[in-house]
Amino acid sequence: MLDHLCINAPFESSFYSVDAEGRYFFIDVDLHSIEIPLASRSVHKNDDGTISASALFHPYESVPTHYTGMAVKVFFDSYYEPYVQIKASPAKLLQGHNVFGSDNIEQGAMEMIGFLYEAYPLLARMLDFQKAWVSHIDVTYSTRLKDQTTAKKVLEYLGNVSNGQTRVSKKAYDTSRYWGGETSRLLNHKCYLKHDEFMAQFAEQQQLAKKMDKSAMRVVEVMSNQKLIDWTIGLLRFESRLKKRWLERNNVPTNLFELIRFQKQNPNLLQTLWTKATHSIFEALRGQTMKLTDDLSVLEAIERSEVVMTKSGKPSPTKVRNLFAMYCLIREKGIEELKTNYSKASFHRLIAELCLCGFSKAYLQNLHTDKANNIIPFIKLIEIDFNQQLPEWYVEPNSQFNYKIA
């Protein structure tokens, strides 16, 4: 999936001049006339008491779209040709979320350029889009684990993986791991729990919607879809930022429209590039195995669950012990055999409470038969299936701006 796109469009040559030696560029546009917000790096008071500002610049701003915002910045330093940069998640612009989405660069680019025309029509008409270039694309594909507990365990394991030039980063959070330095001019990689990220973003948008933010209200409507929420559970996402220099080294055009044509000639382009970019990470995992569940991780998952918490906010030792015992019995005897050992009400209550601890009902039903397969090759566990990236109910969106930008 195309998860993020950064496009840079230079001004038409008639809107700037170059000094005699061709070293310095001067924008010939009254920046105030195109209504972009300007900031200053230098402010001083004149002898007459008036305030003067110099070294003006355009800070990144978020322009509104139908769903989430799009970052825009005008670059007009005299050391380079002036240009405008726009960057966003095409999936979020097109459908209000990036849980899954299209690989289509053209649709994403048209949506982004279209919203620039909507926000700053005068500025957009000054740009030479035929010379626009891409400074990075973020490509992401996911693997599905059986539940959030397993996904978190796999993520923790990945935090120790390095190979060749691909070094694990010191930057790490509970729900994500990173490879490569932030200043790398080639690649950056990260892996994260999509469900946790989705729910955090959902909460943010709900807060904005309460303040009557119309875009956030539309996003909340999209993200409230229970099928969409369920799709994120157990999803472990591998995301790679492919930068301009890396693309050029791999003979991929970075001119926007050449890149679009190149993708049409190579429909699986993003899958091919992502596979090449992440090769060293997955190669480091070959031959390694992982125990999917152990008693300590199960016990920790139960202790963290709200279902065992007392009014004081501490886990009840009795409840923890009862649920852990139930888990062990299911693993040893199977869920069907245990039904005869409990009353119907007690049995269903314990199963429901284990589900609230993060173990799906399907996982518990298969726990007894799967215990012999608890240790498996790690590379098999996180296998990426390109044919399983989209739900069967997915409909690829089309940009509403295709007719405006030929």
Rounded CA separation 314/74 (Å): 53
Distance CA 397, CA 231 (A): 18
Q: Check residue 166 and give its pLDDT.
A: 54
pTM: predicted TM-score of the whole model, two decimal places: 0.77
In tens digits, the chain (406 residues) has pLDDT values of 999 999 999 999 998 888 877 777 888 888 778 888 777 665 555 666 665 545 567 788 999 899 999 999 999 887 889 999 999 999 999 999 999 999 999 999 999 999 999 999 999 999 999 999 999 999 999 999 888 888 888 888 787 666 555 555 555 567 888 887 777 899 999 999 999 999 999 999 999 999 999 999 999 999 999 999 999 999 999 999 999 999 999 999 999 999 999 999 999 999 999 999 998 888 777 666 555 566 777 888 888 888 999 988 889 999 999 999 998 898 888 888 888 888 888 888 999 998 888 777 777 887 776 655 555 556 666 788 898 999 999 999 989 886 444 4
Q: For tokens 């300590």, what's the residue?
A: 296
- Specify the pLDDT at position 406: 41
91 and 102 Cβ atoms separated by less than 8 Å: yes
What was the pLDDT predicted at 200?
A: 94
Dihedral (C-alpha) 135, 56, 80, 189: value to the nearest 10 degrees?
A: -20
- Amino acid of residue 197: E
CB atoms within 10 A of CB 334: 17
Most distant CA pair in the chain, distance: 93
Residues whose CB is less than 8 angstroms from the CB of residue 133 and which lie 6 or more positions away in sequence, other chains included:
7, 8, 244, 254, 255, 256
C-alpha distances out from residue 323 to 304, 310, 316, 337, 355, Å: 12, 15, 11, 17, 11
Closest CA to 65 of 116, 130, 100: 116
Please list, in sequence order, all residues whose beta carbon lies within 8 angstroms of the beta carbon of residue 380, skipping any fewer than 6 positions away: none
Reduce the secondary structure of the chain to three states and give it as a string: CEEEEEEEEEECHHHEEECCCCCCEEECCCHHHHCCCCEEEEEEECCCCCEEEEEEECCCEEECCCCCCEEEEEECCCCCCCEEEEEECHHHHHHCCCCCCCCCHHHHHHHHHHHHHHHCHHHHHCECHHHCEEEEEEEEEEEECCCHHHHHHHHHHHCCCCECCECEEEEEECCEEEECCCCCCCEEEEEEEHHHHHHHHHHHHHHHHHCCCHHHHHHHHHHCCHHHHHHHCCEEEEEEEEEHHHHHHCCCCCEHHHHHHHHHHCCCHHHHHHHHHCHHHHHHHCCCEEECCCHHHHHHHHHHCHHHECCCCCECHHHHHHHHHHHHHHHHHCHHHHHHHCCHHHHHHHHHHHHHCCCCHHHHHHHHHHHHHCEEEHHHHCCCCHHHCCCCCCCCCCCCCCCCCC
Three-state secondary structure readout of 342-373: CCHHHHHHHHHHHHHCCCCHHHHHHHHHHHHH
Model pLDDT, residue 405: 46
What's the chain's Rg over C-alpha atoms?
26
Q: Would you state the pLDDT for residue 135?
A: 97
